[in-house]
Amino acid sequence: MIRTALISLTLLFITPTLTLAAEIRGTGDLGLVIERASGSIQIIETTNNSSLGRVEGLGDLSHASAVYSRDERYAYIFGRDGGLTKVDVLTQKIVKRTLQAGNSIGGAISQDGRLVAVSNYTPGGVKIFSSKTLELVADIPATYGDKGQTSKVIGLVDAPGQKFVFSLWDADEIWIADMSKPDKPQIQKFNDIGRNPYDALISPDGRYYIAGLFGEDGMALLDLWHLDAGVKRILNNYGKGEQKLPVYKMPHLEGWAMAGTHAFVPAVGRHEVLVIDTQTWTEAGRIKVHGQPIFVMARPDGRNVWVNFAIPNNDTLQVIDTESLKIIKTLQPGKGVLHMEFEPRGEQVWASIRDDDQLVIYDTDTFEEQLRLPANKPSGIFSTARAHKTGL
């Protein structure tokens, strides 16, 4: 009798839950696509390649990026207007949203997943929030010089040891914020790293932080295992004495396009992808490409690197073979190819085609087009598989 009653009670509790979550599913195959003009995101899944729905009301997403919580359920989206939005990708609802600055460029999630950091242009600096509540934990103005100016902050990434690393566009500095004690951030600064760092990346093991320089040739390398050695300038002689082309769009350094001991990065203002030998940090080659590269992204197995380009060549994607350093495929998916995202193990890649309002999916072995899906002025594509990758 008592047992029956207990069972009935249990059923009473379970039934509504089941009804609410019509289908219990994981989130490891989910992703989101920024719809930059409408301030919305689409939730996508890569098991069957489909769109699951749309979340609206995320403000100005004309430049936006996202990171994921460790459980791959929540996305933190960083918008142009300083908006930080926490979205539940499972229920497709905004959990919390805060306008934390006037103008921001990107963000990162801490090693332990408890902190979300945002890099801001206005006011220049980094703000750090609780990933659970989005309450402010630390405010780090990017102050420099003797007049108390603040710099725009770019290239913000997470690093092992509960650190955030970022660069100051106006101040030519790299800063490390150690957040081991969230209420007492420890800041370490590196000066004169090179003129106008425009973006940065960190190697997948979290050891090397590399900032690209806009104001001069070369890149700034910081070995996080040996901070005493300071910032080292690499690829210094690249492009010396040559006239740069006008740069119509800043390249992005996202993730680490790496194969064996080679890393692949966009050359600023040139129709070239640069190859770096990561043993010696010297130039190992230059690959002539179709335009000024924006994203240079390695397929997860490192065999190929995919590249998109700045206007007026932004209708094209090229694929580089990382062994021969040759272009093996040129695709023309449509106008305004803004971003690519590989499926978690790389057999397919999604690309956003802004001006055609489409997403296109390619097989990465045959390069055959698999599918097109409608999207409203799509830009960045972010899959939940990023949740467990340092720097993404």
Q: Give the per-residue SS3 of 290-358.
A: CCCEEEEEECCCCCEEEEEECCCCCCCEEEEECCCCEEEEEECCCCCEEEEEECCCCCEEEEEECCCCE
**Phi and psi dihedrals of 289, rounded to 5?**
-130, 180
Q: Of 87, 110, 86, whose CA–CA distance to 98 is shortest?
A: 86
Out of 62, 92, 98, 162, the residue judged to bind another protein by CB under 8 A: 62
Q: Which is nearer to another protein, 16 or 246 (by Cβ)?
A: 246
**Structural tokens at position 353:** 């085609």
Out of 25, 189, 226, 249, the residue judged to bind another protein by CB under 8 A: 249
Element (DSSP H or E) covering residue 8: helix 2-20
Helix then strand then coil, % of the chain, to nearest 5: 5, 50, 45
Q: Can you count the helices (H) and strands (E) in the chain? A: 1, 34
Q: Which stretch binds another protein (CB under 8 A): 235-243, 247-255, 318-326, 366-374?
A: 247-255
Q: Can you tell me the distance from the alpha carbon of 64 to that of 56, in angstroms, rounded to the nearest whole number?
A: 14
Q: Is 322 exposed, middle or buried (0-12, 13-18, 19+ CB in 10 A)?
A: buried
Q: Which stretch binds another protein (CB under 8 A): 90-98, 129-137, 241-249, 340-348?
A: 241-249
The pattern of x and - marking residues 2 through 41 that bind another protein according to CB under 8 A reads ----------------------------------xx----
Shortest Cβ 381–another protein spacing (Å): 17
Q: Which is nearer to another protein, 16 or 241 (by Cβ)?
A: 241
CB 115 within 8 A of CB 133: no
Q: Which is nearer to another protein, 81 or 217 (by Cβ)?
A: 81
311 contacts another protein (rule: CB under 8 A) = yes
Q: Which is nearer to another protein, 226 or 249 (by Cβ)?
A: 249
Size of the site for another protein (CB under 8 A): 28
Q: Which stretch binds another protein (CB under 8 A): 44-52, 184-192, 248-256, 339-347?
A: 248-256
Shortest Cβ 45–another protein spacing (Å): 28
290 contacts another protein (rule: CB under 8 A) = no
**Phi and psi dihedrals of 388, rounded to 5?**
-105, 20
226 contacts another protein (rule: CB under 8 A) = no
Q: Which stretch binds another protein (CB under 8 A): 10-18, 57-65, 89-97, 155-163?
A: 57-65
DSSP H helical ranges for 21-86: none
Shortest Cβ 209–another protein spacing (Å): 20
Shortest Cβ 38–another protein spacing (Å): 11
315 contacts another protein (rule: CB under 8 A) = no
251 contacts another protein (rule: CB under 8 A) = no
Return the SS3 of 130: strand
CB 251 within 8 A of CB 264: no
Return the SS3 of 95: strand
316 contacts another protein (rule: CB under 8 A) = no
Q: Which is nearer to another protein, 122 or 130 (by Cβ)?
A: 122
Encoded amino acid at 353, one letter: I
Out of 41, 44, 63, 158, the residue judged to bind another protein by CB under 8 A: 63
Q: Which residues contact 66 (CB under 8 A, 6 or more apart)?
A: 32, 34, 75, 76, 77, 78, 380, 382
Q: Which stretch binds another protein (CB under 8 A): 58-66, 93-101, 141-149, 230-238?
A: 58-66
86 contacts another protein (rule: CB under 8 A) = no
Check residue 90 and report its DSSP letter.
T
End-to-end CA separation in angstroms for the chain: 55
Shortest Cβ 298–another protein spacing (Å): 24
Return the SS3 of 110: coil
246 contacts another protein (rule: CB under 8 A) = yes
Distance of CA 143 to the CA centre of its chain: 25
121 contacts another protein (rule: CB under 8 A) = yes
105 contacts another protein (rule: CB under 8 A) = yes
The pattern of x and - marking residues 186 through 225 that bind another protein according to CB under 8 A reads ----------x-x---------------xx----------
Residues forming contacts to another protein in the complex (CB under 8 A) are: 36-37, 60, 62-63, 80-81, 103, 105, 121-122, 152, 154, 169, 196, 198, 214-215, 246-250, 311-312, 336, 354-355
